[in-house]
A = this chain, B = another copy of it.
Amino acid sequence: MTVFDDGIALETTADGSMRGRTVPEWANMVGPFGGITAAVLVHAVERQPDVHGLPLAVTVNYLAPIVDGEFDIRARAVRTNRTNQHWIVELSQGGETRTTATAVFGIRRDTWTDTEYPRPQVPSPTELPESDGGPTWMRNYDMRYVAGGLPDPDDGPAASSETLLWVRDNPLRPVDFPSLAAVCDIFYPRVFLRRAQLTPAGTVSITVYFHAAPADLAAQGAEYLLARARGQQFAAGHFDQTAQIWGAGGALLATSHQIVYFKG
């Protein structure tokens, strides 16, 4: 059991919903790291007795900060088809919804396969220093920035919001669907790079597409993932970001997108 397992731990309550709780090690600036919330929502669906297939797509919407303590998750299977299943999920505290999600689970079949967005050629993680600094939750990852590390105010504004880093769980833990969801949210807000200042910012909605099959996850084990994110449009208090997560074998295990609120 690692700190990640603590973060996604759930028990089933008498009324059939799931109960989890915040863990201090996952603290962000306000409330827990959004990635651990995405992970616990994926895990809540995985644990449903009538689940059909494996995670294919999840969208998580952050309605209000989760406060320290217990939370309840209700997952409803809206439709089960032959090859997939659609879920609506709500996380609440004191009867008040804090996070919503939709999830698609599906059956994977053998088909033609291709990684059209290849993994960039970069130095190996052992050639790069381990990052420190940042909010509490970052201690739960071994992060080695190739480009676009946490900006120093002396750096000045960057022309590109791209960040590229090697990342794995700390302590080591084999990658699974919940941990892959969390890694999709590993990137500090892109606006920090472009503005060279830490303005208030937070994810409004994130979507993760899971491309990994169980055999891909088994082959990955606890090895480093290469994670990339870049903003596309910054306007009127929001920006979007597109992200790719490559595995040790060079295939994309997940792709992700999010829209983020920012000030200034």
Which residues of A pack against B, CB within 8 Å? 56-57, 59, 61, 63-64, 78-79, 81, 83-84, 86, 88, 90, 96-97, 100-102, 104, 106-117, 160-161, 191, 194-195, 204-205, 207, 209, 211, 213, 230-238, 240, 242, 244, 251-252, 255, 257, 259, 261-264
Contact = CB atoms under 8 A, between A and B. Distances in A.
B116 A100 contact: no
A159 to B, nearest CB: 9
A263 to B, nearest CB: 7
Given A235-B113, A259-B209, A204 B78 contact: no
A116 B231 contact: yes
Contacts of A236: 108-111, 113, 211, 213
Nearest to A59: B59
Interface of A is mostly: strand
A86 B86 CA distance: 19
Nearest to A190: B116
B209 A104 contact: no
A115 B233 contact: yes
6 contacts: A101-B102, A107-B237, A116-B161, A116-B233, A117-B230, A117-B233
Given A81-B64, A244-B232, A204 B237 contact: no
